[in-house]
Structure 1
Amino acid sequence: KKYDSLEQAFLLGQNGEIDAMESILSRFHEFFFSLPDAPSRTRKHIATPARKAACKRITMYLRWMVRKDSKGVDFGIWEQIKPAQLICPCDLHVDRVARKLGLITRKQTDWLTALELTEQLRTFDPMDPVKYDFALFGLGIEEKF
């Protein structure tokens, strides 16, 4: 009710830095659960990097909302968070392919793994590193790797 868009709630943690996503997600989590009507049972569904979670669902949601994609995968309706700031969503499929390609070395799937993968993807495209997520996921789901 307070904001015109959910995007505004994510911007509470924005600090202008390219690597602000940890702050953005942590502050969103704090804000969300500070609301009087926030159901406590949803805590398990809204991850935070403060607990070292990979934050797969929320980084995927941000990818959909921030990236503009002519293929219909991402909506790109939010404009204040930049694609360069996004963190690659890490799940079993993406992790498996990324490890086999040598993009990540960590054994566990956590926030640091998501950061490691994103940093590697930034070497390919610093302005939109997360665009590779769909391809990594697709290769993993098809078990081509």
Structure 2
Amino acid sequence: MSVRSTRTSTKNTLYMKFPILFCFLFLFIALSEGKHEVKHMLLAKLKQGISEDEIEGYIKQYANLVNLVPSMKAFAWGKDVSIENLNDGFTHVFESTFASTQGIAEYLSDPDHVAFANTLLPQLDKVLVVDYMPTKVKL
């Protein structure tokens, strides 16, 4: 028997000895595809002349999308507080959390989101959107 046939034989034996284990492993991989948390970051520079009350109203409307759009899991926001002056004019950051990239696709086409976007976007001088999957670093 050659070395090659021994390796193949060993591999086949593992599959034969543990078929349920391999089925569960395959199922786990298949179910976990596309199921990673995704962050949707919107950086904005609001137009001059918008009052703080108006800004607060837009932020409340944005935050309320969590109650209206099923795929949106969380929302947070903040103003730029950096002392590095590398913000490129962006003044506000809005972060939405989704269970998957599919959730973002559902959000983007949701009528409540579309209506809100049509209200907010004309109030912005500048906008940048980035979607990413947070990755933990193991040290």
TM-score, normalized by length of structure 2?
0.23
- Structure with the larger RCO, 1 or 2 (CA within 8 Å, 6+ apart): 2
Bigger strand fraction: 2
TM-score, normalized by length of structure 1?
0.23
Bigger helix fraction: 1
